[in-house]
Structure 1
Amino acid sequence: MIAVRRIAAATMLAALAGISAPSAYAAAPAADDAPFLKAIHQGNLAEIAAGQSARKNATAACVKSVGVTLVRDHRKLDVGVKALAAELHVPLSASPSAAQEKAMTAMQASVGTSAYNTDWLTAEAKSHEDTLALIDGEIAKGGNAEVKAAARGARPVVAKHLELIRACEARVKQS
């Protein structure tokens, strides 16, 4: 039963990554893989919350649009992360990290002001840059082939988000 679930998780992650399924018998997570899974999951939760906030509170159309994209894509990415973490017996938090929660709370202070759009975009640019660094570290130094494949699959999605955020920043500055 465990092997069947591992194959299903590996296949799902491979589909997200756009690659062929890795071996169902990949090694257990290396010491540095579990923290990656935990951090990337919390990042997904934070991005989903940030996207929902943008959809609700932004005044710029591009910020709302980027928010919709973040919610959709990070939910999709998190399905794979949760499945892989379950198969590798890595416990995941039910909420973003304390630092992420603090940043989201700080962002709420600008809701209803003209600063919200730029504050949100600045925070999201930083968050996505940090996530790309985390992903690149996993790709370079991760020990589990399935976790590394998931990181490789997530990288273009997160990079595309950063491009969307930067383009939106330029539009908001022009207005």
Structure 2
Amino acid sequence: MIAVRRIAAATMLAALAGLSAPAAYAAAPAADDASFLKAIHQSNLAEIAAGQSARKNATAACVKPVGATLVRDHTKLDVGVKALASKLHVTLSSAPSSAQTKTMTAMQANVGTSAYDTNWLTTETKSREDTLALIDRETADGSNAQVKAAARAARPVVARHLRLIRACEARIKRS
């Protein structure tokens, strides 16, 4: 970790001095940046699956379009995450985490009932809050400028999703 920070400091000093840093050092993400890319990719995969499930299984009218929005936006976000991870030589998982899969499986038990919608919205609210915290940590503490920029670009999308989910929750509670 100390070596990575020294490389990052040397790269920054070289950039400030107008020199170009060796490509291998300039592109290499710190362990935390690589962890962020891995976690955000798994989050995207889980959100795509959750959105597909909502489009298929929701009973509340507002849940289906929110699910469609998640599929569209997280598919687009993940294209960028995969490209950046490839560029930085970060290996990504091909599936959501086991905890995410377990949550989705538990939610499926309520398919076809209003409990599905309520559970889906509650789960998605928590997921958005967790993702925003992950993004905020990366933008505050990350060391790779490209990864931090990707996190900053994803934040308004995830925040908008949270607003959509909360609005849907409020509509369901009112009805």
TM superposition score normalised by structure 2: 0.85
Q: Is the 8 A contact 1:63 1:117 kept in 2?
A: yes
Question: How far apart in 2 are the matches of 1:38 and 1:136?
Answer: 16
Question: How far apart in 2 are the matches of 1:47 and 1:27?
Answer: 28
Task: Structure 2: give runs of 5+ residues left out of the alignment.
Answer: 1-22
CA drift at 1:143: 0.8
Question: How far apart in 2 are the matches of 1:155 and 1:115?
Answer: 29
Question: How far apart in 2 are the matches of 1:130 and 1:160?
Answer: 14
Question: How far apart in 1 are the matches of 2:37 and 2:133?
Answer: 14
Matched, 1:174 2:174: yes
Decide which structure has the larger Cα Rg and report it.
2
Question: How far apart in 2 are the matches of 1:31 and 1:91?
Answer: 12
Matched, 1:135 2:106: no
Equivalent position of 1:160 in the other structure:
160
Q: Which runs of structure 1 show a deviation greater than 4 angstroms over 4 or more consecutive aligned residues? A: none
Question: How far apart in 1 are the matches of 2:133 and 2:35?
Answer: 14
Q: Give the aligned residue type for 2:85.
A: A
Task: Structure 1: give runs of 5+ residues left out of the alignment.
Answer: 1-24
CA drift at 1:114: 1.8
CA drift at 1:27: 3.7
* Identity percentage of aligned residues: 80
Aligned Cα root-mean-square deviation (Å): 1.2
Q: Give the aligned residue type for 1:34.
A: A
Equivalent position of 1:56 in the other structure:
56
| DSSP-derived class of the 2:100 partner | helix
Matching of residues 94-173 of structure 1 within 5 Å: 94-173=94-173
Question: How far apart in 2 are the matches of 1:114 and 1:158?
Answer: 25
Question: How far apart in 2 are the matches of 1:134 and 1:81?
Answer: 14
| DSSP-derived class of the 2:31 partner | coil
Equivalent position of 1:41 in the other structure:
41
Q: Give the aligned residue type for 1:59.
A: T
CA drift at 1:113: 1.6
Bigger relative contact order, structure 1 or 2, given CA contacts below 8 A and separation 6+?
A: 1
TM superposition score normalised by structure 1: 0.85
Q: Give the aligned residue type for 1:138.
A: E
Question: How far apart in 2 are the matches of 1:172 and 1:117?
Answer: 9
Question: How far apart in 1 are the matches of 2:120 and 2:88?
Answer: 34
| DSSP-derived class of the 1:94 partner | coil
